[in-house]
Amino acid sequence: MSERLAEAERGQLPLWMPVALGVGITAWFVLPGPAAWGAVLLVGLAVALAGLMLPWGTRTARAITIAGLLVMLGCALIWWRAERVAAPVLARPVVAAFEARVERVEPLPARELVRLTLRPDAAARLPPLVRVNIAQGDLPAGVVPDSRLALRARLMPPPSAALPGAYDFARTAWFQGIGATGRGFAPIRVVAPGDPGDAALRSTLTDHIVSRVDGSEGGIAAAFVTGDRGAIEAADAEAMRRSGLAHLLSISGLHVTAVVVGTMTLVLKLLALFPPLAIRVRLPVVAAGAGATAALAYTWLSGADVPTVRSCIAALLVLAALSIGREAITLRLIATGALLVLLALPESLAGPSFQLSFAAVTAIVALHEHPRVRRWFLKRDEAPWRRLGRNLASLLLTGLVVEAALMPIGLYHFHKAGLYGALANIVAIPLTTFVTMPLEALALALDLIGLGAPAWWAVERSLALLLWIARTVAAAPGSVASLPAMPDGAFALMVVGGLWIALWRTALRRWGILPFAVGAVWALATPAPDLLVTGDGRHMALATPDGGMAILRDRAGDYVRSTLGEGGGVEGALPPLSEQPGVKCSADLCIATRETGGRRWTIVATRSGYALPWAELIAACRRADIVVSDRRLPDGCTPRWLKLDRTMLARTGGVAISLANGRVTTVRQGGRHPWEVPQTVAPPRPPYRDRRVGRKGTISDAAR
């Protein structure tokens, strides 16, 4: 039976090679430590040996053996990669004065900041690589890569996820080698000038584009060429995300494809003007070579970020297939690209960028490889209006399938997904590919002779239309679906179901609907948490009777509010906790009561740094079920159920609590990944100064 299935799907079996490699990588990320990782290696070896025990001439035996070996390879590869990039991490927040060499300069004009990646001198006793944000006005002129700076900065260790399911910057920073982040202060002195090298061209080009096109339109125009998105206003970037158009801002397959196709078309048309050359030379091969050169140059110019490198690899594979006369865009090509990327950068599997890009292109190719779909949209001799309708139907169907493929990924990583992205992309993708990017290339070329102004005006108008689409779609009622943190198991089931449907070709593929549906129902049925507490204990959000979330500290920043809202599956502003019914607050403490799960819950949370009367604090703790604080509470503070103070949160990280069933989910669960237990370094502590509190906190206002 298994051999008949393997024979029927023999053309699809190679597509599962990157999946098997990804299983090993995923197991390393999900499982807690070396003992579990070693068990994965042994299980992979056992599977491979089991395959060897079967008759080797069968496809089933070879598939089982190769799958086991690839699972082993994936787990071993990411383990080795994590150890290879190991670097010390800052042990504690510090304010340090040091000298450093500039590694990278990233202007963020929309935020009036410049982000610097620095390599401090060894004498500073800081991590080998730190990243700081500096106000534009505080940064002296002439700061380029390889410059040496003397500066003072407040640094902190890369933060882990603030809440369960939130973005884990500590993991990302580990693989980038960044051991601390923070804010630099004036005065900043250039000790020695640097050699900008390649970065000078990117920076100059970005500045030139932004100078020719104002506002977010200029930021998007720069993003299309150099990948620099720093000039895009935060509100417009959010509108692009909510409308499902954010992928246009990251240089990936769409942009690289446009550059390659444009280059090939131009080269073919020019060479065809010389008949002797056209007769003696295979012009498509020459054009493919020019397209490959353009793809490599574009990747270098844009900074060679991971999504761009992936797209460049895929483009080179397509061009190679075209050159040897093979079908260019197939699932085998996508599988080969995914395999190469995972072998080179196995950590990229855990990021949304890899998942979104490969899910989108896999869904598109799998859809159009389906025999029935291929027959529906096959080119034929028909009236122009019917051809136009068929093409529009093809675009709409493709957009809907892509949105269905990307929605679980968006909900898992960002807790929200655009619902009208398919409709928005029907207009936005052709507009970007066939209007904006060619006009921008023309404008840059005409600028060489000082005649680019009309083309830049057209670029600005096209980008204004793109932003209008994004803002209109983002503002439409029900444009965004929001969910609280999705269980890992639900996401895994949907991924398995989606891959099963996309990669098989026989009736076997229909079974993929079952795990996908189970995962979707599980995700939708997961209730939002009633209480969210960040890992530092400073911020807390409590569910409100109307389904929203109320925030403890009225002056919390936008990032904190966004993180708490996403964690609770709430779209929109978070009102102050002090204004909610059943809540009493003083300037230093809040006491909230909630009826849920058949009982009455009392929650006490501190919200200032001032000392509280000891006796009153102990009495409040004893009356409470849960106590939350960013300070270490005395041992006498004993709530009836849970005490989340600095000591406890240092072990658990951020916490999400469902009061109805008493379920507590924590960020830290005893894992031994390198970024969870890193080697640390820190400069000496400054001499102790007696810092007296200006006033004492109060509890009585809240207790009354």
pTM: predicted TM-score of the whole model, two decimal places: 0.88
Same domain, 596 and 540: yes
Of 387, 419, 451, the residue that ends a domain is 419
Quickly state the pLDDT bin for 327 (edges 50, 70, 90).
low
Residue bearing the bigger pLDDT, 227 or 83: 83
Vertex 575 angle, CA 572 and 581, to 5°: 130
Q: What is the pLDDT of residue 648?
A: 93
Q: What is the pLDDT of residue 691?
A: 47
- Is a pLDDT exceeding 60 seen at residue 694? no
- Is a pLDDT exceeding 60 seen at residue 565? yes
Same domain, 536 and 669: yes
Quickly state the pLDDT bin for 387 (edges 50, 70, 90).
confident
Q: What is the mean pLDDT of residues 378-394?
A: 78
- The 10 Å Cβ neighbour count of residue 309 is 20
- Is a pLDDT exceeding 60 seen at residue 56? yes
Domain count, the chain: 5
Same domain, 506 and 554: no
Q: What is the mean pLDDT of residues 159-166?
A: 91
Of 84, 117, 145, the residue that ends a domain is 84
Of 196, 217, 252, the residue that ends a domain is 196
Q: What is the pLDDT of residue 33?
A: 92
Q: What is the pLDDT of residue 328?
A: 63
Q: What is the mean pLDDT of residues 636-640?
A: 91
Quickly state the pLDDT bin for 629 (edges 50, 70, 90).
very high
Same domain, 373 and 356: yes
Same domain, 538 and 671: yes
pLDDT digits 0-9 by tens, 399-417: 788 888 888 998 898 888 7
Same domain, 403 and 513: no
Residue 192 maps to a domain: yes
The most confident of the ranges 268-277, 638-647, 685-694 is: 638-647
Q: What is the mean pLDDT of residues 612-622?
A: 88
Q: What is the mean pLDDT of residues 325-344?
A: 82
Side-chain half-sphere of 694: how many Cα atoms within 13 Å?
2
Contacts for 635 with CB less than 8 Å, ≥ 6 apart = none
Q: What is the mean pLDDT of residues 85-112?
A: 90
Q: What is the pLDDT of residue 154?
A: 95
Rg (CA), the chain: 28
**Residue 688 buriedness (CB in 10 A; 0-12 / 13-18 / 19+):** exposed
The kind and range of the H/E element at 596 are: strand 589-596
pLDDT digits 0-9 by tens, 203-223: 788 888 988 898 889 999 988
- The 10 Å Cβ neighbour count of residue 629 is 26
Quickly state the pLDDT bin for 483 (edges 50, 70, 90).
confident
Same domain, 74 and 94: no
Q: Fill in the amino acid letter for 378.
A: L
Q: Are 332 and 17 in contact (CB under 8 A)?
A: no
Q: What is the pLDDT of residue 61?
A: 87
Q: What is the mean pLDDT of residues 534-552?
A: 91
Residue 328 maps to a domain: no
Q: How far apart are CA 295 and CA 182, in angstroms?
A: 35
Percent of the chain whose pLDDT exceeds 70? 95
What is the extent of the structural domain holding 120? 90-196
Same domain, 569 and 622: yes
**Residue 327 buriedness (CB in 10 A; 0-12 / 13-18 / 19+):** exposed
Q: How far is CA 645 from CA 411, 593, 604, 632, 663, in A?
A: 30, 19, 11, 6, 18
Residue bearing the bigger pLDDT, 277 or 183: 183
Same domain, 100 and 186: yes
Residue bearing the bigger pLDDT, 688 or 186: 186
Same domain, 535 and 657: yes
Domain with residue 176: its CATH number is 2.40.50
Q: What is the mean pLDDT of residues 559-564?
A: 89
Q: What is the pLDDT of residue 336?
A: 87
Side-chain half-sphere of 664: how many Cα atoms within 13 Å?
14
- Per-chain mean pLDDT for the chain: 87
Quickly state the pLDDT bin for 596 (edges 50, 70, 90).
confident
Q: What is the mean pLDDT of residues 605-620?
A: 86
- Is a pLDDT exceeding 80 seen at residue 304? no
- Is a pLDDT exceeding 50 seen at residue 545? yes
Residue 54 maps to a domain: yes
Same domain, 370 and 396: yes
Residue 150 maps to a domain: yes
Q: What is the pLDDT of residue 692?
A: 47
Residue 152 maps to a domain: yes
Contacts for 122 with CB less than 8 Å, ≥ 6 apart = none
> Which alpha helices (H) appear in 582-673, and where do they start and end?
614-623, 646-652
Q: What is the DSSP letter of 532?
A: E
Quickly state the pLDDT bin for 200 (edges 50, 70, 90).
low
- 572 conformational bin, left if phi > 0, alpha if psi -120 to 50, beta if neither: left
Residue 408 maps to a domain: yes
pLDDT digits 0-9 by tens, 406-455: 889 988 988 887 777 777 887 888 888 889 988 998 999 899 888 889 99
Give me the phi and psi of 570, to 5 degrees please: -110, 135
Same domain, 67 and 117: no
